[in-house]
Structure 1
Amino acid sequence: MESRFEGSVIEYIGYSILASLVTIFTFGLAFPWVEVMFQSWVCRNTIIDGRRLRFDGTGSQLFGNYIKWLLLTFITFGIYGFWLFNKMTHWRVKHTHFVD
């Protein structure tokens, strides 16, 4: 079984800078679309046992949950943040599939 990641450091730096700028200039409201952009890049460049991954999530799908999770984190003084990581991971995995 051969698995590999084909993304480059230069691409990663470019996506990171773009993601940071978009998130900052939209005061975090565009984060769902930034997350989708980044996760799509990761999946496009990941091969597991000779099979490429694809990501089919959209920023629109994530936006409602993102706002809800942010509010819950704020209302609970950050305590919900522990669940936030788990919720985001669940959402990413739910939308990650093999290409074929």
Structure 2
Amino acid sequence: MEVHKGRNSFFDGSLLSLIGWSILGAIITFFTLGIAYPWALCMVYGWKINHTVIEGKRMRFQGSAISLFGHWIKWFLLSIITLGIYSFWVTIKLEDWKARNTVFVN
């Protein structure tokens, strides 16, 4: 990998914040019996992306839990219809959704 001078990439989040957001996400998911998992996922992923700078450009996550929840229902139903086969693609679809909802701020 080639290093470009003058271009900084870094992550400025703290371990304590990551632990706090992860615990909050787990608690929310647990107490809603998994229904709020898309919200918890957006919350933690958003925190990670919002603290990431690539080549001097800060990233921002603009996905919403409501949007993800709609996809989650669709993916769940497709997994049921295909007797679980579609569930192998859910991880890839989730990564695609994350990428489509991640932008550069500056």
| Residue 82 of structure 1 pairs with residue 104 of structure 2 | no
Aligned counterparts of 2:87 and 2:11: Cα–Cα separation in 1: 29
Say which one has the larger Rg.
2
Q: 1:62 aligns with which of 65, 68, 76?
A: 68
Gapped regions of structure 2 (runs ≥ 5): 1-6
Stretches of 4+ aligned residues off by more than 3 angstroms: 74-78
Query: What is the TM-score of this pair, normalised by structure 2?
Result: 0.85
TM-score in terms of structure 1 length? 0.90
Give the aligned CA root-mean-square deviation in angstroms: 1.4
- 2:12 aligns with 6
Aligned length: 100
- Calculate percent identity across the aligned residue pairs: 45
1:16-35 superposed matches below 5 A: 16-35=22-41
Cα distance in 2, alignment partners of residues 78 and 48 from structure 1:
37
